[in-house]
Amino acid sequence: AQSVTQLDSQVPVFEEAPVELRCNYSSSVSVYLFWYVQYPNQGLQLLLKYLSGSTLVKGINGFEAEFNKSQTSFHLRKPSVHISDTAEYFCAARRGSQGNLIFGKGTKLSVKP
Amino acid sequence: DTGVSQNPRHKITKRGQNVTFRCDPISEHNRLYWYRQTLGQGPEFLTYFQNEAQLEKSRLLSDRFSAERPKGSFSTLEIQRTEQGDSAMYLCASSLADGELFFGEGSRLTVL
């Protein structure tokens, strides 16, 4: 069965520092990969997605992620975080274009001044 | 606001009561999804519709749960004989075919 693992439940970081949120997926078939962000009391918002093509994907708010097929990873990165990036981040995978999204358990990013 | 709308946003009920949540998707979206999110977990898939047809249901969707999308527009999720374990945030999302999912803000259920 397809699964998504987010290795860190919480990541504290200081403002303007770089951050990496880790995500690994398990699937024997091609998958589409996504990162969503959830701010307090708000719905999930798509940050970026990998469908095919270039393995480095750029998203909104300065985030990017790299698809690594050999390591089955899709880690999310930002070179310099802001206080406003404090939120919960979810990695998700979808098998092909027809399947539903399978989410990881989420990583809470806490940016401190 | 043309996003996905869910109501009620919060529902507190006693164990054994029935509850119903409504989701209004983005108007031109033909797919509608229901997810459940509990504390410390990511959203878990419950079911999805393409137009009015319910195409997939998760094993999480017990026989106390029923979802409908009668005219291919809004959807309802009913939970009968609620249990404390049903306490969660119920999320609705919609999409165009295999496009990006747009999520609503969720309906939080508390079962006492």
pLDDT, tens digit, for every residue of B34-82? 999 998 889 999 999 999 999 988 888 889 999 999 988 999 999 999 9
Token pair listed for B10: 């919060």
CA-CA distance, B55 to B102, in Å (whole number)? 19
CA-CA distance, A37 to B4, in Å (whole number)? 16
Residues of chain A whose pLDDT is less than 50? none
**Residue B99 confidence (pLDDT):** 79
Angle, CA of A97, A103 and A108, to the nearest 5°: 140
**Residue A28 confidence (pLDDT):** 62
Taking an 8 Å cut-off on Cβ atoms, the answer to whether A100 and B43 are in contact is no
Query: Do A13 and A110 form a contact (C-beta atoms < 8 A)?
Result: yes
Residues of B in contact with A9 (CB under 8 A): 40
Q: What single DSSP character describes residue B59?
A: T
Residues of B in contact with A98 (CB under 8 A): 98
**Residue in B with minimal Cα distance to A50:** B100
Tell me which residue of A64, A12, A3, A59 sits closest to A31, measured CA to CA: A3
Mean pLDDT for B83-92 is: 96
Min Cα–Cα distance to chain B from A41, Å: 7
Residues of A in contact with B106 (CB under 8 A): 43
Q: What single DSSP character describes residue B18?
A: -
Strand A87-95 with A31-38, pairing: antiparallel
Residues of A in contact with B93 (CB under 8 A): 44
Taking an 8 Å cut-off on Cβ atoms, the answer to whether B41 and A44 are in contact is no
Q: What is the mean pLDDT of chain B?
A: 93
Min Cα–Cα distance to chain A from B40, Å: 7
CA-CA distance, A65 to A50, in Å (whole number)? 9
Q: Within 10 A of B98 (CB to CB), how many other CB atoms are there?
A: 14
